[in-house]
Amino acid sequence: MFDYLESKIHDECGVFAVYSRDEDMDVVADTYYGLYALQHRGQESCGIAVNEDGVIRSHKDLGLVNEVFTPEVIRRLGKGQMALGHCRYAPYKDRTRSSSQPMLVRHIKGTMALAFNGQLTNAVELREELELKGGIFHTTSDIEVIAYAITRARLNAGSIQEAVETAVDRLTGAYSLVVMSPRKIVAARDPQGIRPLCLGKIGGSDVIASESCAIHAAGGEFVRDIAPGEIVVIDEEGVHSIAHACGQKTGLCVFEYVYFARPDSVVDGASVHRARRRAGAFLALEHPVQADVVIGAPDSGLDAALGYAQQSGIPY
List the catalytic residues.
Answer: 13
On whether the CB atoms of residues 232 and 239 are closer than 8 A, the answer is yes
Question: Comparing C-alpha atoms, which of 21, 23, 29 is closest to residue 78?
Answer: 29
From residue 166, give the alpha-carbon distance in Å to each of 159, 163, 204, 246.
Answer: 11, 5, 30, 15
CA pair distance 261, 64, nearest whole angstrom: 18
Q: Which H or E run contains 221?
A: strand 221-225
Helices (H), the chain: 4-8, 27-37, 65-68, 71-77, 123-132, 142-154, 160-168, 212-217, 255, 272-286, 302-312
- What is the number of other CB atoms lying within 10 angstroms of the CB of residue 230? 20
Phi-psi region of 301 (alpha: psi -120 to 50; beta: other; left: phi over 0): alpha
